[in-house]
Amino acid sequence: MDVTSPFLFLGRSPVKTTSLNQTHRDMNAKMVDFGGWDMPLHYGSQLDEHHQVRSDAGMFDVSHMLAVDIKGEVARAFFRRLIANNVDKLTQPGKALYTCMLNPRGGVIDDLIIYFLTESHFRMVVNAGTADKDMAWMLAQRDQLAPGLEIVPRRDLAMIAVQGPNGRAKVWQVIAGAQAATENLKLFQAVTYDKYFIARTGYTGEDGFEIMLPANDAAGFWHALHAAGVAPAGLGARDTLRLEAGMNLYGQDMDETTSPLESGLTWTVDLKSDRDFIGKQALLEMPVKQQLIGLILLERGVLRSHQKVATRYDGDEGTGEITSGGFSPTLNQSIALARLPLSVSPGDEVQVSVRDKMLRAKAVKYPFVRNGKSLV
């Protein structure tokens, strides 16, 4: 499909498509509606795709996420006010910063990555489901804080994540000359090479690259990666991989009603400097009563989001809820992230309501898996 036509009509509702939509269909992907986007769930076996990423290399179409270029002399000053993490950590071109954008109440509007390119050019990547909301919020803040600043959505770019222990080497097979430019790239750094913006970032707990390139070139690049032995992977494997890696999913583990301080994201919030960002005062005044902690199910069953969790404490202070849960293919057991009282510590046993039964689970420190190895 022409990349200038972002909708595929399925039934009555228009569904957005990436430039790789026909490529996924040609590879017999199981397609699903994901937040209004027609995306691949799997290409035959979600389990095989998961293990392929952990053991070798897999690739994900993440073009539904939105890259946004921020241009202007006041770009850094704009981010000092807009985001919870400190943009002044970004001093080296290509360096990336993970952060949250908060509302005045301290709730999470979105979690995102910002890349520093030059003092007058930053690039950010926001979630697909929040892209329209994020753009509206940023434009409104721009009008108040930095009139004249350019905020440019880049739907002309495709994004492909290549993840796994052999992912970088297989990218080097496909992009001639890229090894010299990216071999010494550190984690959370990016570089522009030819038509590619190559970042050593990811959402799987494995090494690899997230690569932006012109949308019209995405299909050819995808097929070249496949020929080099990179397996296509869908949303199903992406979710089990990120859960094992203990990585938050917006809309489940945090949203506009939850604080980053109770969502395992305190490390992304700068409360030490004098900088005043949107939501800072609310965070300073907000009592922190809960935490995000890992769970491993000790009995047969599957942990799912919204299941209630009971601790050894009575009353409301002894209850919590699973935010993300599922079966871990690497550990071969069910795991979860849960928002529980601060009184719960790793090693404690809790009970989870699963289909009207109370099943035993153990609290653990996450991540559960990194670089193919169990950490619990």
d(CA 257, CA 277) in angstroms, rounded, equals: 18
**Res. 312 pLDDT band, cuts 50 70 90:** confident
pLDDT per residue as tens digits for the range 30-68: 999 998 999 999 999 999 999 999 999 999 999 999 999
Q: Closest Cα to residue 168, out of 371, 30, 321, 362?
A: 371
Topology agreement, domain 7-62+156-244 and domain 289-374: no
d(CA 66, CA 150) in angstroms, rounded, equals: 16
In 135-181, the DSSP E strands lie at 150-153, 157-163
pLDDT per residue as tens digits for the range 223-272: 999 999 999 999 999 999 999 999 999 999 999 999 999 999 999 999 99
**Long-range contacts of the stretch 317-326 (C-beta < 8 A, 24+):** 317/289, 317/341, 317/343, 318/343, 320/290, 320/344, 320/350, 322/295, 322/352, 323/252, 323/253, 323/254, 323/292, 324/243, 324/248, 324/249, 324/252, 324/253, 325/243, 325/295, 326/239, 326/240, 326/243, 326/302
152: three-class secondary structure by DSSP = strand
Judged against a pLDDT cut of 90, whether residue 317 lies above it is answered with no
d(CA 205, CA 277) in angstroms, rounded, equals: 30
User: In the prediction, which pLDDT does 343 show?
Assistant: 93
**Res. 313 pLDDT band, cuts 50 70 90:** low
User: In the prediction, which pLDDT does 15 show?
Assistant: 86
Judged against a pLDDT cut of 80, whether residue 24 lies above it is answered with yes
Tokens 């996420």 belong to 65
Q: In which region does residue 293 sit, left (phi positive, over 0), alpha (psi from -120 to 50) or beta (all else)?
A: beta
User: In the prediction, which pLDDT does 362 show?
Assistant: 98
| CATH architecture, domain defined by 289-374 | Beta Barrel (2.40)
Q: What percent of the chain has a predicted confidence (pLDDT) above 90? A: 93
> What is the residue extent of each domain of the chain?
7-62+156-244, 289-374
Judged against a pLDDT cut of 70, whether residue 99 lies above it is answered with yes
Q: Is the peptide bond before 367 cis (omega within 30 degrees of 0)?
A: yes
CB-CB contact of 29 with 41 (8 Å): yes
pLDDT per residue as tens digits for the range 148-165: 999 999 999 999 999 999
User: In the prediction, which pLDDT does 233 show?
Assistant: 98
pLDDT per residue as tens digits for the range 107-166: 999 999 999 999 999 999 999 999 999 999 999 999 999 999 999 999 999 999 999 999
**Res. 1 pLDDT band, cuts 50 70 90:** very low
The amino acid present at 257, given as its one-letter code, is T
pLDDT per residue as tens digits for the range 269-308: 999 999 999 999 999 999 999 999 999 999 999 999 999 9
User: In the prediction, which pLDDT does 228 show?
Assistant: 98
pLDDT per residue as tens digits for the range 168-226: 999 999 999 999 999 999 999 999 999 999 999 999 999 999 999 999 999 999 999 99
Output b/e per residue, 47-78; b: 16+ Cβ within 10 A.
Answer: ebbbbbbbebbbbbbbbbbbbbbbebebbbeb
In terms of CATH, what superfamily is 7-62+156-244? Probable tRNA modification gtpase trme; domain 1 (3.30.1360.120)
Give pTM, 2 decimals: 0.94
List of residues 6+ apart from 13 with CB closer than 8 A: none
Judged against a pLDDT cut of 90, whether residue 314 lies above it is answered with no
User: In the prediction, which pLDDT does 13 show?
Assistant: 57
Return the structure tokens found at 353: 């309501």
DSSP codes, 200-238? S--SSSS-EEEEEEEGGGHHHHHHHHHHTTPEE--HHHH
Judged against a pLDDT cut of 90, whether residue 316 lies above it is answered with no
CB-CB contact of 37 with 24 (8 Å): no
Instruction: Tell me the average pLDDT across 331-349.
Output: 97
CB-CB contact of 295 with 350 (8 Å): yes
User: In the prediction, which pLDDT does 369 show?
Assistant: 98
pLDDT per residue as tens digits for the range 327-338: 999 999 999 999
Instruction: Tell me the average pLDDT across 84-111.
Output: 98
